[in-house]
Amino acid sequence: MASWHRLGAREELLGRVPCAIKLERQQIALFHHDGRFRAIGNRCNHKGGPLCEGEVRGEFVMCPWHAWEYSVVTGKGPAGYEAEAVPVFAVEERADGVYLDSDPVSPRHLVRHEPHPLTVLTTRPAGAPPRVLGLSTTAMDALNPRFSTSDHLLGVALDHARLRLGAETRLIRLNELQFRPCEGNYSKAAHACTWPCAITERDPEDQLTGVYEGLVQWADVVLVATPIRWGQASALYHRMAERLNCIQNQITIHNRCLIGRKVAAFIVTGGQDNVQGVVGSLLTFWAELGFHFPQFPFIAHSRGWDAEDMETNVRVVQASDALAMAAGELAERAVGMLAERPWITQYGPPVDRRAGIVSFNVEGVHPHDVAQILDFEGVAIRAGHHCCQPLMRRLGVLATNRASFYLYTLPEDVERLVAAVDLAKARLG
């Protein structure tokens, strides 16, 4: 049944188009094409961008967020993409003005697209070795490479993690990747900055995908190495950091943290000073992404502004056992923090004043769910308020888990408890 609405006088609307119109529950984009008013749904099928604000090229309007196109006449996409369509609405010019029927002539049609691989989040199996990702951000001529002090120490740290700590390691050199700069979609609208990055979705040749996969899906620990360039982190680091805004923006607009239970640490070197300023910026940014940090989360080497003899600087770093040891210890602190499970909150007095009871909670998992998973694994604990509701209110929790130990408890029992808690976090956290 038709439901016509007067939009206004013809001359008035000609001065406004393209424009958005809200009628009943419909968001409509009004255009004037080929001598006639045309109306289609205003929300792009991709991420909901406002089509009325897009650039019109002939019959097609381009979404201002991510450049999807639709015909203002048929609502369909261009050749090859006709199955993707937004609603089309009938418009009539009458003696007293322009009218629109809010019941669409043709409906919206959404094509089912396979999820992008980056949207499929994974968890490390319980008991698997930690995964350490090294990010080299130094730039150099690939045909005429030079010695990099930050890369050297990053290599030492990764070797230590692999050979001494039993970790899986992976190295990504930004200098070897071809990736486009951030296009600033968040400046258009908060929801225009998407996960995965719109550039990654549209351009299969963009090589930052490996960085995204490494940070969000693969790594447990990330070691970022950068030289100091004029008192700042490297230009390649900043170029990458701009593109990582799509990770942080998921927290801002969806309250969704893509970085869970991951640790970051840093290696900063250079012939110039300002180590504290560079590291402070690194810590702030990576904390905003959701990373945790170990105690003493960086190592650095700088000989100051008055020591610009880089040949000497290179020799110092190459020959320094102290720096090599510090790089290994940095990796050990970062991996060690992962082993300490920062997502577990313990309650109670210090160990030397505690009986054979451990009360704890697992971040993001209700205590009753933790107890149920542990029960499935043959581990018996208590979960609830333990008849001490006033204490629960003081702690700011509804309930806790409680594991009890006695003379008959074996080391193997403790190992099963820890493995079962890891499983509960992996499944439900």
Question: Does pTM top 0.75 for this prediction?
Answer: no
pLDDT at 271: 58
Neighbours of 284 (CB within 10 A): 9
Q: Tell me the pLDDT tens digit for each residue of 227-249.
A: 988 788 999 999 999 999 999 98
Q: Same CATH fold, 344-428 and 4-101?
A: no
For residue 106, the 8-state DSSP code is B
Question: Which two three-digit tokens encode residue 399?
Answer: 């309930």
Q: Which residues contact 276 (CB under 8 A, 6 or more apart)?
A: none
Q: What is the pLDDT of residue 54?
A: 94
Distance CA 227, CA 154 (A): 11
b/e per residue 298-329 (b: at least 16 CB within 10 A): bbbbbbeeeeeeeeebbeebeebeebbebbbe
The single-letter code of the amino acid at 52 is C
The CATH homologous superfamily of the domain defined by 344-428: Aspartate Aminotransferase, domain 1 (3.90.1150.10)
Backbone angles phi and psi of 226, in degrees to 5: -145, 140
Give residue 159's pLDDT. 95
Give the pLDDT confidence score for residue 187 in this predicted structure.
Answer: 82
| pLDDT at site 351 | 59
Which CATH number applies to 4-101? 2.102.10.10
Say if residues 336 and 294 touch (Cβ distance below 8 Å).
Answer: yes
Amino acid letter at 369? D
Tokens 């995964």 correspond to 131
Task: Convert the pLDDT of each residue in 155-196 to its tens digit.
Answer: 999 999 999 999 999 999 999 999 999 988 888 888 888 889
**Cβ atoms 23, 33 nearer than 8 A:** no
The predicted pLDDT at position 328 comes to: 78
DSSP bridge partners of 23: 26
Which residues are CB-contacts of 62 (< 8 A; sequence separation ≥ 6)? 54, 55, 56, 68, 69
Q: Where are the domains of the chain?
A: 4-101, 117-339, 344-428
- Which ranges of the chain have pLDDT less than 50? 305-307
The pLDDT, as a whole number, for residue 13 is 94
The CATH fold of domain 117-339: Rossmann fold (3.40.50)
